[in-house]
Structure 1
Amino acid sequence: MTCTSLNRRGLLAAAAIALPALAFARVSAQTAPPSQAGPFRFKGWRDAETDAERGFFEVPEDRRDPRSRKIRLGYVRFPSTAARPGPPIIYLAGGPGGEATGAATGPRFPIFMALRAVADVIAFDQRGTGLSSTIPERPASTRPAPEFTEAGLTSYFRSELQSAWADWTKAGVAMAGYNTEQSADDIDDLRRHLGAEKIDLWGTSYGSHLALSVLKRHGDRVNRVALSSLEGQDQTVKRPARIDAYLRQVDALLGTDPAARAAVPDLSALMRRVHARMEAQPALTAVTLNGAPAEIRMGGFGVQMLASGLIANPRTLAMLPGLYLALDAGKTAALTPFLGDVAGLLNLRGMPEAMDLASGISPRRLALIRREARTAVLGEALNFPMPQLMGAIPGVDLGDGFRAAIRIDHPALLIAGSLDGRTPLAEQDEVAAQFRRKSRLVVENAGHNVFEAHPEVQPLLVRFFRGEAVADTRLTLPPPKFQVA
């Protein structure tokens, strides 16, 4: 991500801290009505403004159904400043559920602006998001908040999704059309709408998952790709053993700080101890529910989900030891700053859940993940509500043909942070192996949001999209300073 929405990328409000909100800023910050096409002044990062153009086009909601209604997809175009622009650069947000137009209002805005020196830059809101949103928002659930244990949350979300899916279907939404293959076809329709022979792709996290599908289905219309925080075709659910390896890496960093090491002799042991005790005896935790003070019962699984958000980026990873030390000491009030209004956390948006269900997981990988999760520090919490929602809506899985790896001959720049706890480097290596003409850029001590983590990433992106050679590169940032008090 992504960048979080209320989906598998972070159901707890901690994600509002842990997974940066830049990909989910709302286009209501713009000066013209979101439905109005044409030129307008775009408000970017830190009150910067630029000329832009809002555009729309229509596609079938489900191309497999000849009776499908048409839906309207939207984007913002930042016109190129080049004398001879190259193929349009289309930005693919993470999530699923992130808004490209929202990402352009955050710290990634300077990169959007810099890439105009090469070509038009298109912030495209995928179906079900931002300018393209077509799934109606449901009223807040009146059901009591579930116990934040694995059993409690799984039961709640499976029931809620089945109820919501039925409501959306009755409202005329073709929910089965919200999948990555249809979104990939949307991007080729966008190419035609723009009048471009070819396009370049720039994406992150789930956006890389989507880019792989575009390459598989419309690769002859793609020129080159720059992707970060890679998520492969069969990596909607990450391997728990990879996260254990990541936590050992974090523990080694803790070991370089004598004070942190003294406070936390073994990070994984500390985390396991807290999870086990709180799952067996969930702690009554103060929260806000629909704007009013309330309490929930927070189990170990809820804490695992919280940790799954915190490990995304170094700034929030630094909070992890201190939080667990407090919980180990019985100070459950330490959870309160992370939880926000849980009513929002428990509502479904439709697009993220549908996309994840459709991308699914191969039987072989699911068996591997279930086996690893039995002993892993974070178990199956990292990607909740996947795989827990699998089978809740029959017939939407795209199948193993969708998840099959491909050989990719397009020029590619693949970017990663060494402290990315959402898409660990070992998982990204498996995706990178599909690319035959790649350069890899690793930012030491950066996390999931790597594009803006180091100032040298932006000029390398510009050089790459200009067609210049970019060698394998390693950049370095200072390690995080862990909070243990």
Structure 2
Amino acid sequence: MTYTSLNRRAVLAAAALALPALALARASAQPASPLQAGPFRFKGWRGEETDADRGFFEVPEDRRDRRSRKIRLGYVRFPSTAAKPGPPIVYLAGGPGGEGTGAATGPRFPIFMALRAVADVIAFDQRGTGLSSTIPERPASTRPAPVFTEAGLTSYYRSELQRAWADWTKAGVAMAGYNTEQSADDIDDLRRHLGAEKIDLWGTSYGSHLALSVLKRHGDRVNRVALSSLEGQDQTVKRPARTDVYLRQVDALLGADPAARAAVPDLLALMRRVHARLEAQPALTAVTLNGKPGQIRMGGFGVQMLAGGLIANPHTLARLPGLYLALDLGRTDVLAPFLGDVANLLNLRGMPEAMDLASGISQRRLALVRREARTAVLGEALNFPMPQLAGAIRGVDLGEDFRTSIRIDHPALLIAGSLDGRTVLAEQDEVAAQFQRKSRVMVENAGHNVFEAHPEVRPLLVRFFRGEPVADTRLTLPTPEFRLT
């Protein structure tokens, strides 16, 4: 789920083994007091520390309501080492639900540090996350765990979201204010708070989705943008047929290894067989529930969701064939390392769900997704709980104007990994077409977490934000070695 909450819509892939970056995305920046503004020592990757400043500013929770309460948003600033710093570089985490400050504690920390040579670097926690947490946590649900089929999980999540939304509203939270347009306006308020005429944007996955809204609403206050793992404004739900194209690409990689080909003659057929059997007859599976041993019934849809997380990055993609071979033999015990504490995975956070509901999906795209999902390997599981939650809360969808593409004339550096199974290249190409002054970096055999995948990406980012020309570039990493056991 990037130091993005990468699989924000696929609850099973929140497990640390499937998506270890998610834990980093939600990790604390570890300040001495999260409520105190001012200088402190920031603890980064592998015990490294640096001087930083923590700051806060207030915004209306829902700018459309004059009576809206104010909420406090937080960030960490890494001061520039340049003699003449450029516009502040604001990092936009993915998800929605990832934390900018959390991303800076992980393997992306060296990039934050390197960019200080250009300007102040701002790790911003979007509304409802990290230092900007504004939605109260709900007690763990006492409801029985659902059957992990599409019908079971859809029913559970829709009813749970409606209950949670009512609880948060009663607690005084303007839940309708948690959408990408409001968050884009927060970015411009952050710019004013920093005293900057313009800012640069650096984002990934949902962070690119947010950046597009900033460019649409406040483009005259943005200097340049560097984005990876692009997600367009009508791409909250990915196209299932395009994921099938990606899976055929993975199957071709398996075919290059004689031993792998012998064990898995047809990856897509193997996956379909497992999904169909488990969806028809969910298997009793040992899990952890609220820290204690428990059981759930795992259907094919649950496995599809897990696969949606595994295909994000090569190191987890490599485990996909072995997992399905074991499941085909009836060994559901192999799921245990991927599931974490299922009770935690079933709890709603508010911000991710509200953001996705508001970004929504056009009727044209929804019809296309539903049609493709009937025959696609992962069906509609890749983006769960969207589009399954669409319409669960009335009046929050931002509408077609929000989802309409725009022409973008800002200098842009667009970075992609050829083995990104979350935002596949065909989807990213549609977003890239909006940028008129772009350079593209393709990292062969990298995945969704492409920023830190190759050592040459970091200097390219520094050169780009300095205003130096960056040509279209192709970098290469080794092909993943697939595990069959």
**Which bracket does the TM-score occupy, shorter chain normalised?**
over 0.9
* Aligned AA (1:419): L
Q: What does 1:411-450 align with in structure 2 at a 5 Å threshold?
A: 411-450=411-450
Per the alignment, do residues 446 and 7 of structure 1 end up closer, same or farther by CA in structure 2, a change over 3 Å counting?
A: closer
1:24 aligns with 2:54: no
Q: Distance in 1 between matches of 2:14 and 2:118?
A: 37
Q: 1:351 to 1:200 in 2, by over 3 A?
A: same
What is the DSSP-based 3-state SS (H/G/I as helix, E as strand, rest coil) of the residue aligned with 1:397? Answer: coil
2:41 counterpart SS class: strand
Residues 38-76 of structure 1: CA distance to partner in whole angstroms, max 9, x if unpaired? Answer: 000000000000000000000000000000000000000
3-state DSSP of counterpart to 2:297: strand
How has the CA–CA distance of structure 1 residues 5 and 416 changed in structure 2, closer, same or farther, with 3 Å as cutoff?
Answer: closer
Please name the residue that 2:71 is paired with. Answer: 71
Query: C-alpha distance in 2, partners of 1:73/1:457?
Result: 30
Aligned-residue offset at 1:337: 1.1
TM-score normalised by the chain length of structure 1: 0.98
**Contact between 1:68 and 1:174, CA under 8 Å: does it hold in 2?**
yes
8 A Cα contact 1:5 1:11, kept in partner: no
Structure 1 unaligned residues grouped into runs of 5+: none
Contact map agreement 2:14 2:345 (CA 8 A) in 1: no
Structure 1 residue 384, shift from structure 2 partner = 0.1
> Is residue 245 of structure 2 the alignment partner of residue 245 of structure 1?
yes
- The 1:161/1:368 distance shift into structure 2, 3 A limit, reads same
Quickly say closer, same or farther: Cα 1:198–1:458, change in 2 above 3 A. same
Task: Indicate whether 1:100 and 2:109 are aligned.
Answer: no
Q: Deviations over 1:320-356 (max 9, x none)?
A: 0000000001111111111111000000000000000
Q: CA deviation at 1:152?
A: 0.1
Which 5+ residue runs of structure 2 have no aligned equivalent? none
Contact 2:198 2:221 in 1 (8 A): yes
State the shift of 1:22 in Å.
5.7
Give the distance between the partners of 1:165 and 1:73, measured in 2 at CA.
21
The verdict on how the C-alpha distance between 1:14 and 1:178 changes in structure 2, with shifts beyond 3 A counting, is closer
- Contact preservation (8 Å) 1:25, 1:105: no
> What secondary structure, in the 3-state scheme, does the structure 2 residue paired with 1:214 have?
helix
Q: CA deviation at 1:7?
A: 6.3
What's the counterpart of residue 121 of structure 1? 121
Q: Report if aligned partners of 1:22, 1:103 keep a CA contact under 8 Å in 2.
A: no
- State the aligned residue count: 484
> How far apart are 1:26 and its partner, in Å?
2.3
Percent identical pairs in the alignment equals: 87
| Correspondence for 1:329 | 329
Preserved CA contact (<8 Å) 1:2 1:96: no
Q: Is the 8 A contact 1:9 1:309 kept in 2?
A: no
In structure 2, what is the equivalent of residue 372 of structure 1?
A: 372
Sort the Cα spacing of 1:293 and 1:13 in 2 relative to 1 into closer, same or farther, 3 A: farther
Mapped to 1, the partners of 2:172 and 2:179 lie a distance apart of 17
Q: 2:482 is matched with which residue? A: 482
Report whether the alignment pairs 1:258 with 2:258.
yes
Q: Give the partner amino acid of 1:26.
A: A
The Cα shift of 1:18 comes to 2.5
Distance 2:174 2:456 in 1: 43
Q: Is the 8 A contact 2:2 2:448 kept in 1?
A: yes
* SS class of match (1:122): strand
CA distance in 1, matches of 2:63, 2:24: 27
Distance between the aligned counterparts of 2:4 and 2:347, measured in 1? 14
The reply on whether 1:209 has 2:198 as its aligned counterpart is: no
**Separation in 2, partners of 1:346, 1:166:** 18
- Whichever residue aligns with residue 127 of structure 2, its letter is R
CA RMSD, aligned part only? 1.1
Aligned partner of residue 40 in structure 2, secondary structure: strand
Contact 2:4 2:25 in 1 (8 A): yes
Question: Where do 1:317-396 residues align within 5 Å?
Answer: 317-396=317-396
Question: Relative to structure 1, is the Cα distance of residues 31 and 357 closer, same or farther in structure 2, using a 3 angstrom cutoff?
Answer: closer
- State the AA in 1 paired with 2:22: A
Change in 2 beyond 3 A, CA 1:422/1:350: same
Q: Is the 8 A contact 1:23 1:94 kept in 2?
A: no
What SS does structure 2 have at the residue aligned with 1:246?
helix
Q: For residue 397 of structure 1, what is the aligned residue in structure 2?
A: 397
Q: Cα 1:154–1:4, aligned 2, differ >3 Å: closer, same or farther?
A: farther
